[in-house]
Structure 1
């Protein structure tokens, strides 16, 4: 990441927020704002998305810190570091459900905050480098034939039979293929791989899932079951799925 890491501070104790901002600026980070309310943070992020969100859990206003993060995560993927003066199990478990990068209890030392942000920054750099390296390999890492696909796995091209594929799950710009034996990570979007897969075998059932029709064990109101995995079924895809199942 060549540009300075951008950090948004959401903290309603302005003296604490100002001290944090000064510390981060001194360390070379770019503070995009100091905001006391969760509702204001959501608006700010839509206009100026940060790399890291420094979020106080006990915010005043309509939304506390955890509720604010949940709203933000509906539209954005941002690393979150929680700050809290209340580190009991209930707060921790509710915060943990939003998959934060770190959790710091107040009062904290400057070094605690500095190290937490450095760790998150390193994670961001590692993820960015991995994505660039994978994208440089190109989409030629995957070859799809009528009865099988070849995918790059541990520096080799591995054959995966179509009939052995259970389902495919989207992970941002990647897809993870779940077969009967192994898992394979592809540098392709779910949309791209959906177009290339043989249509008679596969169908999209959710924005994040494509499934092998022959592997479906159960169809429920809002999900399907393949093996022991319950996969969400969107209303928009359900009608087409039921039509296709009638032809099997």
Structure 2
């Protein structure tokens, strides 16, 4: 099929966010874009439990989480399991490029999030292109 839709690599997304309104907005925007939200959690332990229980194609994670562990800790665990992480933050931490696929700068709107998810899917498929505004890829 010449003009058929290509199969997405990213289908199932785990949202990890400690701000309830941002978490709800992310969940809604992701679902509206046609992705499945595996779960929305605010703690490292809950996110790891979801990784144990569910198939996850991408983790959308803030840096600051509820509890003592951070999004950086989660990204380390996700990397060990081969699950890509996109940080959503206003201030990416030092060393983030070692752990995540990139970051999307906060604040962002629905259009920016959808464009970022589409770009990440292309990126994971090896189809490199310039990222949309607000999205920074860490690796080629």
Q: TM-score, normalised by structure 1?
A: 0.45
The residue number in structure 2 matching 1:114 is: 114
Q: Distance in 2 between matches of 1:40 and 1:107?
A: 24
RMSD: 2.0
Unaligned runs of 5+ residues in structure 1 are: 128-248
Contact in 2 for aligned 1:57/1:84 (Cα 8 Å): yes
Please say if residues 6 and 51 of structure 1, whose CA atoms lie closer than 8 Å, have aligned partners that are also in contact. yes
Higher strand proportion (structure 1 or 2): 1
- Equivalent of 2:15 in 9, 17, 20: 9
How many Å apart are 1:59 and its aligned residue? Answer: 1.1
Highest RCO, 1 vs 2 (Cα 8 Å, sep ≥ 6):
2
Separation (CA, whole Å) in 2 of partners of 1:12 and 1:121: 25
Residue 87 (structure 2) aligns with: 82
Count of residues in Structure 1 that have an aligned counterpart in Structure 2: 121
Q: Highest CA radius of gyration, 1 or 2?
A: 1
Following superposition, the deviation at residue 58 of structure 1 comes to 1.1
Deviation at 1:3, TM superposition (A): 8.4
> Structure 2 vs 1, CA of residues 12 and 122 (structure 1 numbering), >3 Å: closer, same or farther?
same
Note the C-alpha offset of 1:101: 2.0
User: What are the equivalent positions in structure 2 for 1:164-179 lying under 5 Å apart?
Assistant: none
**Closer, same or farther in 2 for the Cα pair 1:118/1:3, shift >3 Å?**
closer
TM-score, with structure 2 as normaliser: 0.77
Query: Are 1:103 and 2:103 matched, yes or no?
Result: yes
State the 1:110 CA deviation.
2.1
* Poorly superposed stretches of 4+, deviation over 3 Å: 1-4, 124-127
Residue in 2 that maps onto 1:28 = 34
